[in-house]
């Protein structure tokens, strides 16, 4: 994973699968290449192979089950997503919560397979507990702002600063901020407050001009990094 | 769906994905073509496209969520599996239970999309209630026999006959029997007792010679059908 | 269970427990005695004994787990609620959904213990499937109207009439209507449309004068019954 | 909470409710009084009031939901158990797992109400993450040993020592060990390894002479404490 972390969660919009899902991946890849920035797409399990075969950007699953190989009908295991071409996965998104023991099971298997992991939490108090399980990153997202268009950067900056304080208690885990991120300014602020990047979904997936929005995001991120002296 | 219904649930064995998963699909296709019988493979979501592009047999998902398009991170919707190339899906497997309202949501969306559905139940008492929701088929499987190698046909034939009685209360829904089916004789008995076919998993997926086992299955099914005058 | 069925779901309001919860039970009992009508209160598990010891009206649990005696920490089993003094329980409320197999397990145990059961569903399509599992009654409640103050009687009468058509397919199961029931008129209409009674929660539990509201409910029910020639 | 912590989880055995459940509480109280030791009983929600009214030992719930007052049919909230007479609750038992966000919600409400909390985990890796949420104690129990009669003290002492190392990273949280604890020796060893006490269930609840077993437990605990210089 590279800072700035910019993660586009496809969710299950009409732009998330089939031809449109592939076109979106092409758009994201274009911005990534033009700006020499890594941008992650977290796609539906059914799309991983198709996207991973078509673009060079990192592809994530949106969820992974911690169970081992065996009689687990319907499970999406770390082995399955790796085989499909994913480089990692979201975990514990507010729309797909998992229990703590399942999370630990999943993270252990993912590490063994060399998969990256972004564990979502809905409050800063869970940042350090989750970080202790050693995911690649923790993504903090106040659920009431998800999809709202009102960004965590503006509406609840203290969530980001508190989360940054928390993540520092554990070494080697990135902090990503999310929820309502819709502009380059939102990204800039989130990173100035100390996060290593942002997660977004509807702002990109439902945009008329996703390329333009994403470019703004990256520029906001780069500006913040430069001011922080990190790039 | 055609009788005899023979459904191979890939689950998540080491033979269920990657190269070995594709090879298994080839083997199943071979038996299907040689015997002019339809054999369904229910594969992991990440494998649907790859299997569907390679073989001509019907490919199912192992689970589907009833939610519509939208902000549903990690959901596997009917639209997603159809787009990936699936013809239908298992639902409510004992390893992936869903609630009744979720089931009805999923089945309604699946019908609208022209997808087939096989709803699993763990007891004959649930056959008629589930059949009222109009899936393509109901698969009855006593969970204690799943993966046991002791077939429902032999150990609990009354489950099949009771389920057959129940399914007749609702028109137009197939009955499939499962759990511990390992031999052609098991298939033959299950169908002689009135079922429209069988579901199996470990007996095929973990077999040294899956082709041989599957061929026996089909022959058992054909023999039963001929005796019933159905083929 | 006696028609009219009037069920007050305590839920977990500030009036649902402690002194206020007991006072509410007294009020309900008073109306029941004055009108010679049975009124059921579904109270929190922790309140069952205290309410049952104090009033003569039937006391229900709000939920029950289908598991047998044994190592089931935190489970509220049929045996436990019976021992506490309950006469029955709600099951599968939209705020506490259970799976179909768990429901069947619970209902079987409840019947064995002589406990009554009211299974909630959120749509008329689930009325017959649930009725086949032989609860005492099915309670149909469109969840979007629950607690809204807009009654199913007025806003979606077709849910009640469709549910009445469905319940007739199975013998010996009552149909109760709920969601947004706030006036005697709502109760009257719900029963004129064919239901055997109503369920309510916030309209009573959050009322300034619960006794008055409840009395209206009972009068609405009695008027409908008289017109139907049922009382 | 006082060290040694001895917690008897009633679960839902035939000795857990009704007359026998009350008798068990009397037995536990007797041992507690005779040995001047605090012994906690975690009883079914339906039993809290009856047990709390009858004995002077601390009574816990077995589970609590983190939701606030409101429309939460079937929920057992912190307010409800406090009102019923409980002093605290188990949380996240392996037979009743909760999600991390639900746990944090529950613990915050419990603290506000002055309720104690014992959060269960199935592995030492979760001890520190859970402790960061500030429960009164963390109870570590390898689930494969629960109810086995093979104690964690003997079979997996490294789970206890690792858990002790973990709990030390967070101030002010007790560590309790559980699973298979059946003898005074098991208790002694668990506490010599550094735990602040033990949790047990079947060893007491299914014992022919629960008083004798419990007395052994307490003596084992006292012996360990004396050797540690802690009493």
pLDDT tens digits, residue range A140-161?
998 888 778 888 888 889 999 9
Q: How many helices (H) and strands (E) does chain A have?
A: 10, 8
Q: Neighbouring chains of C at 3+ CB pairs within 8 Å?
A: B, D
Task: Count CA within 13 A, CB hemisphere, residue D121.
Answer: 27
Shortest CA gap B145–chain C (Å): 17
Length of chain D: 231
d(CA C61, CA C7): 12
Contact at 8 Å (CB) between B119 and B130? Answer: yes
Question: Which secondary structure element, helix H or strand E, spans residue A3, and what is its range?
Answer: none
Instruction: Provide, rounded to the nearest whole percent, the portion of chain C with pLDDT above 70.
Output: 99
> DSSP letters of B128-163?
HHHHTT--SEEEE--GGGTTTS--HHHH-HHHHHHH
* C-D Cβ pairs (cutoff 8 Å, strict): 133
d(CA A41, CA A52): 10
Residue D18, chain C, CB below 8 Å: the answer is: yes
Question: Which secondary structure element, helix H or strand E, spans residue C121, and what is its range?
Answer: strand C116-121
What's the pLDDT score for residue D230? 56
pTM of the model: 0.95
Contact list in C for residue D62 (CB cut-off 8 A) is 73-74
Determine whether the interchain pair D45/C76 forms a contact, defined as Cβ–Cβ distance below 8 Å. yes
Residues forming beta bridges with residue B60, ordered by sequence position: B42, B88
**CA D57 centroid distance within chain:** 13
> Does the N-terminal peptide bond of residue C4 adopt cis geometry, omega within 30 degrees of 0?
yes
Q: pLDDT confidence of A230, banded at 50, 70, 90?
A: low
Across D31-54, average pLDDT = 97
What's the pLDDT score for residue D34? 96
Contact list in B for residue A63 (CB cut-off 8 A) is 73-74
Shortest CA gap D53–chain A (Å): 35
Among the partner residues A42, A70, A74, nearest to B93 by beta-carbon distance: A74
Among the partner residues C97, C99, C132, nearest to B129 by beta-carbon distance: C132
Active-site entry in D72, D95, D102, D141 = D141
Length of chain C: 231
Using alpha carbons only, give the angle A23, A28, A29 rounded to the nearest 5 degrees. 95
Joined together, the tokens standing for residue A147 give 């999809």
d(CA D222, CA D216): 10
What pLDDT digit, counting tens, does each position of B72-90 carry? 999 999 999 999 999 999 9
Determine whether the interchain pair B90/A74 forms a contact, defined as Cβ–Cβ distance below 8 Å. yes
Measured between alpha carbons, how far apart are the two ends of chain D, in Å?
Answer: 15
What's the pLDDT score for residue D150? 87
State the DSSP code for C117: E
Judged by DSSP in three states, A39 sits in strand
**CA B38 centroid distance within chain:** 12
pLDDT at D231 over 60: no
Q: What Cα–Cα distance (Å) separates residue C22 from each residue in B156, C19, C53, D182?
A: 50, 5, 10, 41
Across D159-182, average pLDDT = 94
pLDDT at C153 over 90: no
pLDDT at B43 over 60: yes
What's the pLDDT score for residue A208? 96
Contact at 8 Å (CB) between C155 and C123? Answer: no
Across D96-109, average pLDDT = 95
Residue C96, chain B, CB below 8 Å: the answer is: no
Among the partner residues B101, B122, B129, nearest to C133 by beta-carbon distance: B129
Determine whether the interchain pair B100/C128 forms a contact, defined as Cβ–Cβ distance below 8 Å. no
Closest Cα in chain C to D65: C74
> Does the N-terminal peptide bond of residue C62 adopt cis geometry, omega within 30 degrees of 0?
no
In the numeric block, the tokens 């045996």 are attached to C79
What pLDDT digit, counting tens, does each position of B107-116 carry? 999 999 999 9
Residue B150, chain A, CB below 8 Å: the answer is: no
In this structure, are strands A174-178 and A197-200 parallel, antiparallel, or unpaired? parallel
Contact at 8 Å (CB) between B105 and B67? Answer: yes
What SS3 string covers C168-228? Answer: CCCCCCEEEEECCCCCHHHHHHHHHCCCCEEEECHHHHCCCCHHHHHHHHHHHHHHHHHHH
Across B9-36, average pLDDT = 97
Determine whether the interchain pair D79/C12 forms a contact, defined as Cβ–Cβ distance below 8 Å. yes
Sign of CA dihedral D89, D90, D91, D96: negative
Count CB-CB contacts under 10 A for residue D211.
16
Interface test with D, best of A96, A101, A130 (most D CBs within 10 A): A101
What's the pLDDT score for residue B154? 86
Active-site entry in C63, C95, C116, C141 = C141
Low-confidence winner among B15-24, B175-184, C14-23 (lowest mean pLDDT) = B175-184
Across D191-216, average pLDDT = 95
d(CA B162, CA B164): 5
Residue B15, chain A, CB below 8 Å: the answer is: no
Rounded to 5 degrees, φ, ψ at C9 are -85, 110
What's the pLDDT score for residue A108? 97
**CA B64 centroid distance within chain:** 14
Which class for B127: exposed (0-12), middle (13-18), buried (19 or more C-beta within 10 A)? buried
Residue D17, chain C, CB below 8 Å: the answer is: yes
Joined together, the tokens standing for residue A38 give 């890594």
Nearest CA-CA partner of D93 in D200, D2, D187, D167: D200
Determine whether the interchain pair B132/C130 forms a contact, defined as Cβ–Cβ distance below 8 Å. no
What pLDDT digit, counting tens, does each position of B23-36 carry? 999 999 999 999 99
What's the pLDDT score for residue C114? 98
Q: What Cα–Cα distance (Å) separates residue C76 from each residue in B29, C80, D11?
A: 49, 6, 10
> B141 catalytic, yes or no?
yes
Closest Cα in chain B to A83: B18
Residue A125, chain D, CB below 8 Å: the answer is: yes
**CA B230 centroid distance within chain:** 20
Chains B and A: 3 or more CB pairs within 8 Å of each other: yes
Among the partner residues C76, C93, C95, nearest to D46 by beta-carbon distance: C76
Determine whether the interchain pair A47/B18 forms a contact, defined as Cβ–Cβ distance below 8 Å. no
Q: pLDDT confidence of B230, banded at 50, 70, 90?
A: low
Residue A96, chain D, CB below 8 Å: the answer is: no
Residue A107, chain D, CB below 8 Å: the answer is: no
Across C41-54, average pLDDT = 98
Residues 6+ apart with CB under 8 A from A65: A72, A75, A76, A77, A102, A106
d(CA D194, CA D189): 9
In the numeric block, the tokens 């519509």 are attached to B68
What pLDDT digit, counting tens, does each position of A29-58 carry? 999 999 999 999 999 999 999 999 999 999
What SS3 string covers chain D? Answer: CCCCEEEEECCECCCCCHHHHHHHHHHHHHHHHHHCCCEEEEECHHHHHHHHHHCCCCEEECCCCCCCCECCCCCCCHHHHHHHCCCEEEECCCCCCCEHHHHHHHHHHHHHCCCEEEEEECCHHHHHHHHCCCCCEEEECCHHHCCCCCCHHHHCHHHHHHHHHHHCCCCCCEEEEECCCCCHHHHHHHHHCCCCEEEECHHHHCCCCHHHHHHHHHHHHHHHHHHHCCC
Contact at 8 Å (CB) between B25 and B218? Answer: no
d(CA A218, CA A200): 12
Residue C62, chain D, CB below 8 Å: the answer is: yes
Residue D106, chain A, CB below 8 Å: the answer is: no
d(CA B215, CA B223): 12
What's the pLDDT score for residue D154? 86
Residue B100, chain C, CB below 8 Å: the answer is: yes
Active-site entry in A93, A116, A166, A216 = A93
Judged by DSSP in three states, C49 sits in helix
What's the pLDDT score for residue B49? 98
What's the pLDDT score for residue D90? 98
Question: Which secondary structure element, helix H or strand E, spans residue A8, and what is its range?
Answer: strand A5-9
Low-confidence winner among B122-126, B174-178, D139-143, D150-154 (lowest mean pLDDT) = D150-154
Using alpha carbons only, give the angle B144, B148, B149 rounded to the nearest 5 degrees. 135
> C93 catalytic, yes or no?
yes
Active-site entry in B63, B116, B141, B166 = B141
What's the pLDDT score for residue D147? 77
Residue C126, chain B, CB below 8 Å: the answer is: yes
Residue A121, chain D, CB below 8 Å: the answer is: yes
Question: Which secondary structure element, helix H or strand E, spans residue A206, and what is its range?
Answer: none
Q: Neighbouring chains of D at 3+ CB pairs within 8 Å?
A: A, C
**CA B188 centroid distance within chain:** 17
Determine whether the interchain pair A133/D125 forms a contact, defined as Cβ–Cβ distance below 8 Å. yes
Closest Cα in chain B to C99: B99
Determine whether the interchain pair D49/C44 forms a contact, defined as Cβ–Cβ distance below 8 Å. no
């Amino acid at each position: 994973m590279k800072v700035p972390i910019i993660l586009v969660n496809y969710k299950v919009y009409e732009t998330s699968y089939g031809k449109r899902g592939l076109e979106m991946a092409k758009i994201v890849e274009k911005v990534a290449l033009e700006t020499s920035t890594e941008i992650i797409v977290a796609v539906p399990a059914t799309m991983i192979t198709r996207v991973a075969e078509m673009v060079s950007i990192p592809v994530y699953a949106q969820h992974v089950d911690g169970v081992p190989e065996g009689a687990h009908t319907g499970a999406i295991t770390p082995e399955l997503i790796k085989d499909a071409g994913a480089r990692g996965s979201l975990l514990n998104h507010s729309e797909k919560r998992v229990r703590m023991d399942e999370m630990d099971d999943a993270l252990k298997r993912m590490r063994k397979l060399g998969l990256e992991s972004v564990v979502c939490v809905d409050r800063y108090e869970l940042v350090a507990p989750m970080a202790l399980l050693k995911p690649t990153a923790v993504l903090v997202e106040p659920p009431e702002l998800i999809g709202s268009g009102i960004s965590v950067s503006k509406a609840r900056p203290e969530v980001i600063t508190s989360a940054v304080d928390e993540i520092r208690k554990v070494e080697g885990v990135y902090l990503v901020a999310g929820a309502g991120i819709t502009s380059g300014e939102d990204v800039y602020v989130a990173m100035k407050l100390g996060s290593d990047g942002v997660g977004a979904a509807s702002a990109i997936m439902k945009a008329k001009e996703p390329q333009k929005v994403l470019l703004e995001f990256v520029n906001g991120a780069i500006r913040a990094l430069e001011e922080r002296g990190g790039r």
